[in-house]
Amino acid sequence: MIRVCELFAGVGGFRLGLEKSSNDYKFVWANQWEPGKKSQHAYDCYVSHFGKENHINIDIAGVDKKEIPDHDLLVGGFPCQDYSVARTGAKGIQGVKGVLWWQIREILKVKQTRFILLENVDRLLKSPSNQRGRDFGVMLACLNDLGYSVEWRVINAAEYGFGQRRRRVFIFAFKNNTAYANKVDETNLRNWLHQDGFFVQQFPIESTNLVDENGQVNFPIESKKVDGEGCIMEYDDIVDVSDTFKMDFRNSGIMTNGRIYTEQTTPLYNGKFTLLRDLLETDVDETFYLDSDEEKLEKWKYLKGAKKIERTSKTGHKYVFSEGPLAFPDPIDRPARTMLTSESSVNRSSHVVEDSQTGRLRLITPMEAERINGFDDNWTNSGMPQKFRYFCMGNALVVGLVTKMGNSIKEIIKEENNNSINDEVAITK
């Protein structure tokens, strides 16, 4: 049995993905809270599928971390926020109030979880714009101080056969006192990314030439380089990282004992790709069609089209805002574009397709939105408003990615537990 705690659970994408992977996963605790909302629709949806047992609906900041059950794996898709910190009295450290990363940090300090799988938007690696890499650097420093090694990969789900061009960074962390961590060779971190590491087992990558035509290593780093294999994070405390750290994090990387190696990798996939047409319903209700309102249809065309608009900034400076055209309707012979929480509203990012039966333009349905993320049909049809069904899918992850990761985690923890049993037997002898 693999005991799992799920943070920021939403409608249960992590849980569904892991349980599709194996019945070895047992969720011993989960938390979901939508701040400022009287109706907790995501929580209600989660409960409709998994029950209320060990699932709480309160602000995570109000949870006594000691009361969280012991667990082997902590999972969650947490918001990208301001990770800057400052010193308080008696040399304490205080992050920006309400930033949920600090709640994760507190849980790890108390529970000493062996393995962690987190998900976030890929801009986390580059934020903020005036100190690129600071936010992720703060995270890595926190985990380093707590005794973790960390591997990350930005994964575009469509590039591994799934039905959405959704790009997210996944972060797998593991305690340095585990048998798994002992496999990391600090003198060859590139080998970990390409052969031995967590992500490459389920999401293979092409071999790349690390040296460009000028003989320069292809991962620019604004920290002390060590043996051409990365850099060492040098800092006095987390505040020092927050104030000064900059780094050009690439889409793949590993940090162990403060040493960072990062590289731009290319996915390698030879399987079948899922196209938007594979996910569309038939006999769609009339309410989803657009051609009954000519004025609204013209607005759709305008929003999707190229435009240049003169605007004035707050300081009175005039400038031209421009954007290129989007395909209208969306091509169905490709994976879907990234869904946002505004899906189905009249805006540039919403999907509009030509119905394969009628030839008419329409929005995607809530069930199609679920399919695009890999959820079971009508997963969110649990009493929540239709608009919020789209909102939940805009916030969700691609379930199949987690299923693949779950396959790897199961084997890692199985080997970890076997090593523990062997150690105990050796001690008794």
The tens digit of pLDDT for each residue in 249-273 reads: 999 999 999 999 999 999 999 999 9
Q: For residue 139, what pLDDT is reported?
A: 95
Same domain, 58 and 127: yes
Same domain, 300 and 184: no
Query: Which residue pairs from 45-52 have beta carbons closer than 8 angstroms and sit at least 24 positions apart in sequence?
Result: 45/11, 45/12, 45/379, 45/380, 45/382, 45/384, 45/392, 46/9, 46/10, 46/11, 46/12, 46/15, 48/382, 48/383, 49/12, 49/16, 49/379, 49/382, 50/12, 50/15
**Residue 393 is assigned to a structural domain of this protein:** no
The whole domain housing 103 covers 2-270+398-428
Is pLDDT of 410 > 90? yes
Same domain, 294 and 360: yes
> Which phi and psi angles does 126 have, rounded to 5°?
-115, 0
**Residue 291 is assigned to a structural domain of this protein:** yes
Q: For residue 234, what pLDDT is reported?
A: 79
Is pLDDT of 427 > 60? no
Is pLDDT of 213 > 90? no
Is pLDDT of 210 > 60? no
**Residue 381 is assigned to a structural domain of this protein:** no
Q: For residue 69, what pLDDT is reported?
A: 98
pTM above 0.85?
A: yes
Percent of the chain residues past pLDDT 90, beyond the cut: 76
Mean pLDDT calculated for residue range 170-175 = 98
Same domain, 226 and 361: no
Same domain, 348 and 261: no
Same domain, 64 and 188: yes
**Residue 200 is assigned to a structural domain of this protein:** yes
Query: Which residue pairs from 324-330 have beta carbons closer than 8 angstroms and sit at least 24 positions apart in sequence?
Result: 328/300, 328/301, 328/304, 328/352, 329/353, 329/354, 329/361, 330/276
Q: What is the mean pLDDT of the chain?
A: 90
The number of folded domains in the chain is 2
**Residue 68 is assigned to a structural domain of this protein:** yes
Is pLDDT of 425 > 80? no
Q: For residue 221, what pLDDT is reported?
A: 39
**Residue 299 is assigned to a structural domain of this protein:** yes
Q: For residue 230, what pLDDT is reported?
A: 63
Q: For residue 94, what pLDDT is reported?
A: 60
Same domain, 326 and 230: no
Q: What is the pLDDT of residues 131-151, one digit of tens each?
A: 999 999 999 999 999 999 999
Q: Treating both helix axes as pointing N-terminal to C-terminal, what angle do 41-50 and 386-395 enclose, rounded to 10 degrees?
A: 80
CA angle 399/404/406 to nearest 5° reads 90
Mean pLDDT calculated for residue range 232-242 = 85
Mean pLDDT calculated for residue range 179-203 = 95
Mean pLDDT calculated for residue range 231-257 = 89
Q: For residue 424, what pLDDT is reported?
A: 53
Q: What is the pLDDT of residues 306-330, one digit of tens each?
A: 988 888 888 888 888 899 999 999 9
Tell me which of 80, 142, 231, 392 is the catalytic residue. Answer: 80
Same domain, 229 and 327: no
Q: For residue 373, what pLDDT is reported?
A: 98
CATH number for the domain including 88?
3.40.50.150
Query: Which of the two residues, 89 and 211, has the higher pLDDT score?
Result: 89
pLDDT band of 219, cuts 50, 70, 90: very low
What is the three-class DSSP state of 288?
A: helix
Closest CA to 229 of 193, 201, 265: 193
Distance separating alpha carbons of residues 344 and 352, to the nearest angstrom:
8
**Residue 321 is assigned to a structural domain of this protein:** yes
Mean pLDDT calculated for residue range 401-412 = 98
Q: For residue 337, what pLDDT is reported?
A: 97
Scanning the structure block, which residue is given the tokens 């405390």? 237
> Is 80 an active-site residue?
yes
pLDDT band of 227, cuts 50, 70, 90: very low
Same domain, 69 and 184: yes
Q: For residue 115, what pLDDT is reported?
A: 98
Same domain, 73 and 127: yes
**Residue 390 is assigned to a structural domain of this protein:** no
Mean pLDDT calculated for residue range 266-293 = 95
CA angle 312/316/322 to nearest 5° reads 25
> Which phi and psi angles does 3 have, rounded to 5°?
-80, 130
Closest CA to 170 of 75, 66, 73: 75
Same domain, 226 and 111: yes
- Whether 20 contacts 374, CB under 8 Å: no
Pairing of strands 73-77, 115-121: parallel
Cβ atoms within 10 Å, residue 20: 18
Residue type, 289: Y
Is pLDDT of 371 > 70? yes
Q: What is the pLDDT of residues 338-359, one digit of tens each?
A: 999 999 999 999 999 999 999 9
Residue type, 61: A
Q: For residue 313, what pLDDT is reported?
A: 85
Is pLDDT of 111 > 90? yes
Percent of the chain residues past pLDDT 70, beyond the cut: 90
Q: For residue 225, what pLDDT is reported?
A: 44
Same domain, 200 and 339: no
> Which phi and psi angles does 85 have, rounded to 5°?
-130, 165
Q: For residue 93, what pLDDT is reported?
A: 55
